[in-house]
Structure 1
Amino acid sequence: MLRQRILTAVILGPMLLWLVLWAPPLATLAVIAGAILVGAWEWSRFCGLETLRTRIRYVLLLAAMMALAWRYFGDARVLNAVLVVALIWWLVALVWLAVAPQRKHVLLAALAGIAVLIPTWVALSHLHRAQQGPQLVLFVLLLVFAADIGAYFAGRAFGRLKLAPLVSPGKTWEGVLGGLCGAALIAIAGAFWFKFETSAFLALCSAVAAVSVVGDLTESMFKRHVGLKDSGAILPGHGGILDRIDSITAAAPIFALGMLWFKVLP
C-alpha cells in the first residue's frame, strides 16, 4: 500500500505541476472539470444512490450546473454568490460535525455535494484565469499540502487531544495547530511573492487552512454514514478523487472569496 501511494504521488506530482503552471488553460480547466465530475460520481454514494442510472443522473445534474456556472463566468455577482454559498455550507458542516456527526441525512448529503463541488469548480476556474492565476492555484494547493504535512507530523509527535473521535479518530487538536503553523509559513512566503499585505494575507490563509480541516472531516463523516473506507479506487494507494481533494474543496472557495475581497479576482 505504501509503495502504491508513493508511486502514485511520484507520477501525479509532476503532472499536476505541469497542468497548473504550463498546460494550455483550456486543458487545465478540462482536467479540473473532469476531476469534479469524478468527485460527483463518488459523492453520489454518500446520497444513498446505488443504481447506475441514479448515480449518472446525479453526475449529469452537477455537469449541468457546472455548465451554467461557466455560462455566467464573467459575472462578479454570480461568482460572489457561489462563493458565499460555499462559506455558508462550511459553517453548516462545522455545526453538523460538532453537534450530530453520526446523524445521516440523505437529502442534505445530496445538496452538500452541490454546495461542495460547484464552488470548487467556480473557485479554481476563476483563480486560474486571474492575473498570476496559475501561481495562485499552485499556492492554494501548496497551502493545503503544508497544512496536511504540518498536521501529520505534529499529530504524530504531540497528538493527545482528539479532534473528532466519532468521525476521524486519528486527528488531534495538536495536529490542527501543527497544520496551521505549516500553513502560516507558506502564507508568509506567499505574501512576499504576491506582494500582499502580510497580516491580512496571513489571516486569510489561516482561515483557509482551518476550513480545509472541516473539508477533510466532512468527507470522512459522509463516508462513515454509508460505511465506506475510501470514496473510490481511482488512485492506487490513495482511494478516490474525493479522498485527495476533500481539503481543497473547502480551501479553494474560501481562498477565492478572499481573493475577491482583495480585488485580485475581477
Structure 2
Amino acid sequence: MTKLRVITALVLAPLMIFGIFFLPLKQFAIFIAVIATLGAWEWANIAGYRKNWSRVLYAAVMFICLYLTARFLKVNEQYLIYFLAVGTLWWAVAFALVKQYPGGTELWHARPIRALLGLCVLIPMWVGFMHLKQQPHSSLLIVYLMLIIWGADTGAYFAGRKWGKAKLAPNVSPGKSWAGFWGGFATSLLVAVAFLGYINSQIQAVDSRFALSFLLITVITAVVSVLGDLVESMMKRHRGIKDSSQLLPGHGGVLDRIDSMASAVPVFAFCMLIFNWGLSA
C-alpha cells in the first residue's frame, strides 16, 4: 500500500506543479474543471447513485454547470463574490451538519439533496481557483494555499499521534482529535509567518494591516480546510463506504485528495475579496 501511495504521489505531484505554474488561464480552467468533474463522478456515488450511467450523467451535469459558470462570470465579473459567498455559506451550514451528526440526516438524506450539495462543494472550488489564477503572483498564492492545507493535515497527523486522546468529531471521523486540530493549526501559522517573511523580502513591504489580514485569512482557511475533510467523511460514513473511489491507487479517490481543498479554496478567495487583500503586481 505504501509503495502504491508513493508511486501515485510521484505521478500526481508533477501534474499539479505543471498545472499551477505553466498552464495559461483557459487551460488551467479546463484542468481544474476535469478534476472537479472526476470528483463529481465520485460524489454521485456518495450521494447514493450507484449505477455507472447515473454517475457519468452527474459528472456531465457538473461539467456543464462549470462551463455555464465560466461563461456567465466572463461577462458578469461583478457576481464573482456572490458565487464565493454562497460557497462560504455552505461551509457554515456544513459545520452545523457535522456538529449534530448522526442527528439531522433527515435534512440531506434524499439523493437529490446530496447531489445538490455536491454542486455547492465543487463549483465554488473551481470559481475560487479561477479568482486566484487571475491575481498577481497567482502561482505563489495557490502554492501557499496548498501549504496551509498540507500544513494543517501534516501537523494534525503528528500531533494527533502523540497527544490525540480527546476526539474532535467521534461520530464523523474517530481518528481526528483536538490535539491534531491544534497541531495542524499551529503548523499553518508557522507556514504563514515564514511566508510573510518571504513576501517582505522578495515581493513587497509588509505593514501591520497587511500582516493582520493575511494571518486572519490563514486562520480562517486552515480551520475550514479541516471541515472539508469532515464533511466528506460524514457523507461516506452515511453512505457506508471507506473511499470515494479507487481512481488513485493507494490514495482512494479524487475527492479523498481534494476534500480539504474544496472547502479552503473558495473561503480563501472570498476572504481575499472582503478583506481587500492581495499581493502587488
Aligned to 2:131: 126
| SS of structure 1 residue aligned to 2:73 | coil
Aligned to 2:109: 105
Aligned to 1:219: 232
Q: Offset of 1:52 from its aligned partner?
A: 2.7
Gapped runs of 5+ residues in structure 1? none
- Could you list the per-position Cα deviations for residues 66-102 of structure 1 after superposition, in whole angstroms to 9, with x for gaps in the alignment? 1111012343432111111111111111101111336
Runs (4+) off by over 4 Å: none
1:3-152 correspondence runs (5 A): 3-74=3-74, 75-101=76-102, 103=105, 105-106=109-110, 107-152=112-157
1:165 matched to 2:164? The reply is no
> Identity of paired residues, percent?
40
Q: Give the whole-Å Cα distance in 1 for the aligned partners of 2:62 and 2:185.
A: 32
Cα root mean square deviation, aligned = 1.7
Q: Offset of 1:10 from its aligned partner?
A: 2.2
Letter in 1 for 2:125: T
Larger Rg, first or second structure (1 or 2): 2
Q: Which moved more, 1:160-169 or 1:103-112?
A: 103-112
Q: Give the whole-Å Cα distance in 2 for the aligned partners of 1:83 and 1:4.
A: 36
Letter in 2 for 1:100: Y
Question: Normalising by structure 2, what TM-score?
Answer: 0.89
Q: Give the whole-Å Cα distance in 1 for the aligned partners of 2:9 and 2:158.
A: 19
| SS of structure 2 residue aligned to 1:72 | helix
- Could you list the per-position Cα deviations for residues 150-199 of structure 1 after superposition, in whole angstroms to 9, with x for gaps in the alignment? 11111111111101111111100010001111111122233342656212
Aligned to 1:198: 211
Query: Is residue 188–residue 198 contact of structure 1 (8 Å, CA) maintained in 2?
Result: no
Q: Which moved more, 1:190-199 or 1:252-261?
A: 190-199
Q: Offset of 1:141 from its aligned partner?
A: 1.0
Q: Offset of 1:237 from its aligned partner?
A: 0.3
| SS of structure 2 residue aligned to 1:131 | coil
Query: Is residue 188–residue 218 contact of structure 2 (8 Å, CA) maintained in 1?
Result: yes
1:184 matched to 2:197? The reply is no
Query: Is residue 42–residue 253 contact of structure 2 (8 Å, CA) maintained in 1?
Result: yes
1:242-257 correspondence runs (5 A): 242-257=255-270
Question: Normalising by structure 1, what TM-score?
Answer: 0.94
Q: Give the whole-Å Cα distance in 1 for the aligned partners of 2:56 and 2:12.
A: 27
Letter in 1 for 2:231: T
| SS of structure 1 residue aligned to 2:99 | helix
Q: Give the whole-Å Cα distance in 2 for the aligned partners of 1:140 and 1:222.
A: 25
Q: Offset of 1:263 from its aligned partner?
A: 4.9
Q: Give the whole-Å Cα distance in 2 for the aligned partners of 1:23 and 1:109.
A: 33
